[in-house]
C-alpha cells in the first residue's frame, strides 16, 4: 500500500528482492488483508460519464499504524449523464411543440378552428407541462393582446358609426368576489370632453352575481354602450351585455353570475379583462 503519511519505520516496497510498487521512502508497506479496513464511497458526476471511487484504508498491526487514501476513476460506457439526458429531453420537447404548432397552422390554413381542449398536465412531466401550457397560451392569446394594444382608448369607424373602445384589467378577481357592500373603479378616461370610469360591484344585489357599470362624471353624458368580458382563449366564448343606456340599475348595469366566468380563459392569472364599447353617434 502507498500511504499519504510518512511512516516512522522504514519498510521497503520490495519482497525477496522483487519490487512490487513504487513509492517514496517510508511511504509504503506490505500488510495482510485482515489488517486493512477500507471504505469505498463512489459517485457518478452529472457532467462526465465516469465513476469515481475513493478508498479510505486504516491499517493496524504490531509493527505500524497508518491510513491510506486512493482514488480510482473508471470511465463508464453506454451511460448517459444527467446533463446529457436533460439536453436530449429539451430537444425532444422542442420538436413536439414545433409539430403541435405546425398542426395548428395547417388547421387554420384550411379554415378549420382549433378545438378547445383541456390539457391533462398530470400525464406530462412538470417541466414539459409548464412549457407546453406556456407556449399554447402565448400563441392563442397573442391575438387578444394585439387587439387590446391596437384599440384601447381609441375611436374607430364602423357601420355602426364611431365607436370608442376601452379595456380594463380587473385584478385579484377571486378575492374581490368574496367582498360585499363595496365596489372598485377603473382608471378614468376621457371622451367628448367627459371624464368616465367603470365600476365593478361584487355580489351585486344578491350572492353569486356581480355587476359592471359605466359611470360618467356628469349626467349629461348619455351614450349607448356595450360591456364585454373577454375569454382570452376563445373569442366565441366572450360574454356580452345587451345595449346599455342610462345610469339606473335596470338598463345601465351589466350583471352576470360568478359561474359564467368559471370557464377556462376568463380568469387568467386571477385577472378579468373588461371591454367597453361606446357608440358615439347614439
Residues 167, 274 contacting (CB under 8 angstroms): yes
Of 26-40, 126-140, 141-155, 187-201, where does the model show the most confidence?
A: 187-201
pLDDT band (50, 70, 90) for residue 121: very low
What are the tens digits of pLDDT across the range 156-191? Answer: 998 889 999 999 999 999 999 999 888 999 999 998
pTM of the entire predicted model? 0.52
* Phi, psi for residue 259 in degrees, rounded to 5: -60, -30
Side-chain half-sphere CA neighbours of 176 within 13 A:
21
Residues 183, 201 contacting (CB under 8 angstroms): yes
The residue ranges of DSSP E strands in the chain, in sequence order, are: 14-15, 18-19, 36-39, 42-44, 50-60, 65-75, 154-158, 161-171, 184-185, 189-191, 194-201, 209-216, 225-229, 239-240, 253-257, 271-279
Q: Give the chain's domains with CATH numbers.
A: 14-75 (no CATH), 82-142 (no CATH), 152-279 (2.60.210.10)
Output DSSP code: residue 244.
B
Can you tell me the distance from the alpha carbon of 275 to that of 154, in angstroms, rounded to the nearest whole number?
Answer: 12
Residues 273, 168 contacting (CB under 8 angstroms): yes
**Pure H helices in 110-188:** 126-151, 173-176
Query: Is a pLDDT exceeding 80 seen at residue 85?
Result: no
Q: Residues of the chain with pLDDT > 70: what percent?
A: 60
What are the tens digits of pLDDT across the range 128-146? Answer: 555 544 444 444 456 788 8
What are the tens digits of pLDDT across the range 263-280? Answer: 888 998 899 999 999 999
Amino acid at each position: 500500500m502507498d500511504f499519504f503519511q510518512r511512516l516512522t519505520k522504514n519498510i521497503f516496497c520490495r519482497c525477496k528482492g522483487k519490487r512490487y510498487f513504487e513509492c517514496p521512502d517510508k511511504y509504503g508497506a506490505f500488510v495482510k488483508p485482515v489488517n486493512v479496513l477500507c471504505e469505498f464511497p463512489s459517485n457518478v458526476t452529472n457532467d462526465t460519464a465516469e465513476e469515481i471511487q475513493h478508498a479510505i484504508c486504516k491499517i493496524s498491526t504490531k509493527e505500524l499504524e497508518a491510513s491510506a487514501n486512493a482514488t480510482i476513476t473508471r470511465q463508464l460506457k453506454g451511460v448517459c449523464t444527467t446533463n446529457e439526458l436533460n439536453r436530449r429531453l429539451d430537444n425532444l420537447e422542442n420538436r413536439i411543440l414545433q409539430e403541435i404548432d405546425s398542426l395548428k397552422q395547417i388547421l387554420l390554413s384550411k379554415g378549420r378552428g382549433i378545438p378547445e381542449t383541456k390539457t391533462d398536465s398530470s400525464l406530462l412531466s412538470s417541466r414539459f407541462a409548464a412549457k407546453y401550457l406556456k407556449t399554447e397560451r402565448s400563441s392563442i392569446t397573442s391575438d387578444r393582446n394585439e387587439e387590446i394594444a391596437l384599440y384601447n382608448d381609441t375611436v374607430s369607424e364602423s357601420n355602426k358609426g364611431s365607436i370608442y373602445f376601452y379595456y380594463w384589467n380587473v385584478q385579484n378577481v377571486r378575492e374581490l368576489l368574496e367582498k360585499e357592500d363595496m365596489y372598485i373603479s377603473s382608471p378614468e378616461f376621457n371622451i367628448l370632453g367627459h371624464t368616465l370610469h367603470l365600476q365593478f360591484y361584487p355580489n351585486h344585489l344578491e350572492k353569486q352575481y356581480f355587476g359592471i357599470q359605466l359611470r360618467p362624471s356628469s349626467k349629461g353624458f348619455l351614450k349607448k354602450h356595450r360591456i364585454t368580458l373577454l375569454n382570452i382563449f376563445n373569442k366565441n366564448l366572450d360574454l356580452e351585455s345587451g345595449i346599455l343606456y342610462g345610469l339606473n340599475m335596470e338598463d345601465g348595469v351589466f350583471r352576470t353570475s360568478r359561474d359564467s366566468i368559471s370557464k377556462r380563459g376568463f380568469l387568467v392569472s386571477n385577472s378579468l379583462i373588461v371591454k367597453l364599447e361606446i357608440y358615439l353617434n347614439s
